[in-house]
């Protein structure tokens, strides 16, 4: 009995030393870079019918929102907030390009986008494309969207993320604004990044 106890104690001691060695000698996990994985390359068509890529916007701040023109409330409210926030920024607002990317490419043609966006900020850029192009852009920005409420071929709504992203001139994520953000708070949040 005494020999078994000593053998068990020795095995446990060796296991404890081996476990401690694994913990001490384990490599450090990579340190987080502190950057959100939001944004990336895209190729879409603007409201003038021209093909554009993310590179066409480099060097400018972007205020980017995914939505659709048939949206009953969230999208027009958000686009009005963007318009008011840019107006509040005055001349500093000229450093920011507002961008509206449609998640409903079936209905949102460049022509229809041009007509719809005329009700909001005059510098607002509308983007659409093929379903695959829109899906790639949405994936780059971690945006969810899906067709819902189908009552007919044209009678549907789109569920979608309702976040406005502020992207830097280098294409990197800087901040985001929730749907409930006021124009004053959005303008203040943008101004902080413009002044850096």
| Parent domain of 147 | 43-194
pLDDT at 37: 86
User: What pTM did the predictor assign?
Assistant: 0.79
Residue 25 is assigned to a structural domain of this protein: no
Residue 22 is assigned to a structural domain of this protein: no
Q: What is the CATH number of the domain that holds 158?
A: 3.40.30.10
Residue 15 is assigned to a structural domain of this protein: no
List the structure tokens of 94: 């000229």
User: Which residues, in sequence order, are CB contacts of 30 under 8 Å at separation 6+?
Assistant: none
How many domains does the chain contain in total?
1
The sign of the torsion formed by the CA atoms of 149, 153, 159, 162 equals negative
Residue 14 is assigned to a structural domain of this protein: no
In this structure, are residues 142 and 37 in contact, taking their beta carbons and an 8 Å threshold? yes
Residue 126 is assigned to a structural domain of this protein: yes
pLDDT in tens, the chain (196 residues): 555 445 434 434 444 444 433 333 333 344 345 566 899 999 999 999 999 999 999 999 999 999 999 999 999 999 999 999 999 999 999 999 999 999 999 999 999 999 999 999 999 999 999 999 999 999 999 999 999 876 566 779 999 999 999 999 999 999 999 999 999 999 999 999 998 8
């Amino acid at each position: 009995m005494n020999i078994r106890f000593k053998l068990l104690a020795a095995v446990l001691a060796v296991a404890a030393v081996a476990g401690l060695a694994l913990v001490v000698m384990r490599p450090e996990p990579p340190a987080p870079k502190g950057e959100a994985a939001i944004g990336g390359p895209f190729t879409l068509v603007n409201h003038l019918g021209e093909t554009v890529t993310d590179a066409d916007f480099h060097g400018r701040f972007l205020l980017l929102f995914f939505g659709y023109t048939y949206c009953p409330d969230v999208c027009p409210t958000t686009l009005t907030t963007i318009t008011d926030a840019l107006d509040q920024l005055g001349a500093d607002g000229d450093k920011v390009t507002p961008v509206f990317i449609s998640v409903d490419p079936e209905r949102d043609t460049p022509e229809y986008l041009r007509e719809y966006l005329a009700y909001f900020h005059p510098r607002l850029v509308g983007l659409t494309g093929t379903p695959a192009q829109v899906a790639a852009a949405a994936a780059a920005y971690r945006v969810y969207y899906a067709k819902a409420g189908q009552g007919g071929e044209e009678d549907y709504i789109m569920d979608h993320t309702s976040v406005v992203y502020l992207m830097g001139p280098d294409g990197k994520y800087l901040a985001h604004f929730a749907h409930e953000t006021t124009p004053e708070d959005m303008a203040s949040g943008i101004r902080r990044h413009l002044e850096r």
